[in-house]
Amino acid sequence: MSALIGRSAALRWVHLVLGGALLMPYWMLSLVLLISRFGDQDPGRTVLLQFLALALALPMAAVTALVPLVRVLESTAARALGLGGAAELATTASQSWAARRRTAAWYVQHLLLGGIVSGLSLAVPPAVVVLLAFPHHAAIPIWFGETDVPLPLLALGLAALPVLANAAAGAWLARTAPALLGPTPDEKLAVAERRALELAQRNLLARELHDSVGHALSAVGIQAAAAGRVLASSPEFVAEALRAIEETARAAVAELDTVLGLLREDQVADPAAGPTLAELSSLLRQLELAGVPVETRAGPGLAALPGEVSRAAYRIVQEGLTNVLRHAGQVPAALRIELADGVLELELSNPVGAERPSRPGGGRGLPGMAERAAVLSGECAAGQTGDGRWRLAARLPIEGETS
């Protein structure tokens, strides 16, 4: 019932009347051109010219609808007046000929249906008033002859005509709005690609924040705890721990500033940002001051690694050593970094140590390391060995295609 006389019907009637108003300039121009060419002395010919003017006006409207901005205007009006339902309508100008053709089709049907509904809305009310003013019968021709119909009943039927036309035209526009004013397949694909890129950037930023800030907080916390335990007995160790805390905090602030800068709308997350294996000695020094001596075996050629491989390797080692601090405590660790047959091999192992409470929900370090390796078409795995140690191993192809 609301489609006939409710708020939805009223909004659609407004939209259709606007279409009829937009049709008038095209129709009048077409009519002037036809009359100037064929004349208007014959009343019958004049009526015919008016219909021909309508047929000529619609292609003219279609041509003007190819202007890219028309799509935005029509979509905005349709959305404001309740057409399209929950479907997504375009919010940008037409960027392709496919979008322009769809907009032209919508514009033509909007103007045509709007002209019909507007004409009925203007012509029917006076006709109904006239019929009601003469409460007699009228002879209505039917298939087998004529029949007498009361004029009030005829007026009632005539009054329902624009209501039904408005409901039918509004329903058709609402049904076709998503197809003609919605995004094209190419636009949907572009949106999906942008969404995938945004998600990839968010995952990159999340990994960078987790690895850099998480490592710094873990190292600072353990160094501060160790300094507090020997505050009275070993001032030299406390001084060294405070210097290490200062260096770690300064480095973390610098990395955090870099990562947060990438969150600005005018910047794009850069996978080339971040430390490389060239900063590995500083990382190992921080761990040693935190009570985790690391026996390191580094093979030749690490300085010549591609930047993306070197950065991923540094982050994997950093997260692995941070996990040693978090879960095993102050235990010695062994690190091996070597190149073998075009693959960078990383192996970090440590005693399992005492069981420590974990954070609710688990950490994100292991999935993050696996994601970093997968980006380089590599692999990363971690787990407990049979001799009571924890082992982290990663393989990063040097020439692997990124995904």
132-175: pLDDT as tens digits: 776 565 555 554 445 566 677 777 888 889 999 999 998 899 88
Strand bridging mode 137-142 / 145-150? antiparallel
Cα dist from 273 to 7, 204, 258, 403, whole Å: 56, 10, 8, 18
Confidence of residue 402 (pLDDT cuts 50, 70, 90): very low
Angle at 252 between CA 207 and CA 295, to 5 degrees: 80
Give which of 12, 10, 392, 361 is closest to 174, Cα–Cα. 12
For 201-254, write each residue's pLDDT tens digit.
777 777 777 777 777 777 777 678 767 877 777 787 778 778 778 777 877 777
CA atoms of 403 and 377, how far apart (whole Å): 7
pLDDT, tens digit, for every residue of 79-134?
887 776 656 888 888 888 989 999 999 999 999 999 999 999 999 988 888 777 76
Contact of 386 with 366, CB cutoff 8 Å? no
Q: How far apart are the first and last CA of the chain?
A: 55
Report the pLDDT value the prediction gives residue 7, as an integer from 0 to 100: 82
Q: pTM of the predicted model, to two decimals?
A: 0.55
User: Is the Cα dihedral 28, 30, 32, 38 positive or negative?
Assistant: negative
Query: Rounded to 5 degrees, what are φ and ψ at 79?
Result: -70, -40
- The mean per-residue pLDDT over the stretch 366-383 comes to 88
The answer to whether the Cα torsion of 289, 293, 295, 299 is positive or negative is negative
Helix axes 97-133, 68-80, angle to 10 degrees: 50
Q: How far apart are CA 152 and CA 158, in angstroms?
A: 10
- Delineate the domains of the chain, giving CATH numbers in brackets: 2-183 (no CATH), 188-397 (3.30.565.10)
The predicted structure's pLDDT at residue 195: 85
